[in-house]
Amino acid sequence: VCSTTTSSSITAAASSCSGDPAPPPSPPPPMDFEALDAKTVRAYVCAAKRYSPAVPPELTEHIVDEYVALRQKDALDPSKTECFTSARTLLAILRLAQALARLRFSDKVGEEDVAEARRLMEMSKESVHGGRDEKEGLSAQEMVTRVAEIINEQMIANGGDSIAIADVMPQLISSIGATAADVNRTIDEYTDLGVWMRIGRDSVKLVDPAVDDE
């Protein structure tokens, strides 16, 4: 009942913003891999949180080299001024490298973690630049990912861990052309994964893995 009511609320919000009736929801796309169940993922996340990887002194020069390489790449393409490399980028690389080491259940950041962190930063910057050039042509799964990103960003911006879909629907429509069906599909997928949970009629909330496992 809650799911049906929520879908109706989202559809109404989308229609009021766009003026067009929302299309019926489509089935989720098939996946070419077997996804882990939510309980396993939550257990893995909780285990990884026990580690606090440190950056060894011998890795400092390598991290600086990676940062310099990013700055040099920016200098070769000055048109991408909206995502320039700064000291915050260096901090982000360090945080990402630590997170990657934590995923390996390691107490020490490795060179491979730094390299992967730099790659992720480059891909993130490329996605920002590409997203400003075109808002169309997203696959079904890409749309789900973008909808989830925007909803999560709005939760953070609001300083909480929940949000009313009606509050974020105008941004979803204007920025990526999302429909009510796209939003419903995203909520269903992230709820099934145990990342979100439905709250009331038309809101979603982030699930805290640590609390959920207790």
Domain positions in the chain are 1-29+139-214, 34-138
Beta strands across the sheet bearing 196-199: 162-164, 203-206, 196-199
For 1-29+139-214, which CATH class?
mainly alpha
* DSSP per-residue letters across 101-167: HHHTT-SB--HHHHHHHHHHHHHHHHHHHHHHH-S----HHHHHHHHHHHHHHHHHHTTSSEEEHHH
Domain 34-138, CATH: 1.10.8
pLDDT tens digit sequence for 75-97: 766 555 555 667 777 888 888 89
More confidently predicted of 176 and 23:
176
Domains 1-29+139-214 and 34-138 share a fold: no
Give the tens place of pLDDT for each residue, 155-166: 888 888 889 999
pLDDT of 174 reads 85
For the whole model, what pTM was predicted? 0.47
Percentage of the chain beyond pLDDT 90 is: 15
Pull the structure tokens for residue 76: 């070769």
- H or E element at residue 61: helix 60-76
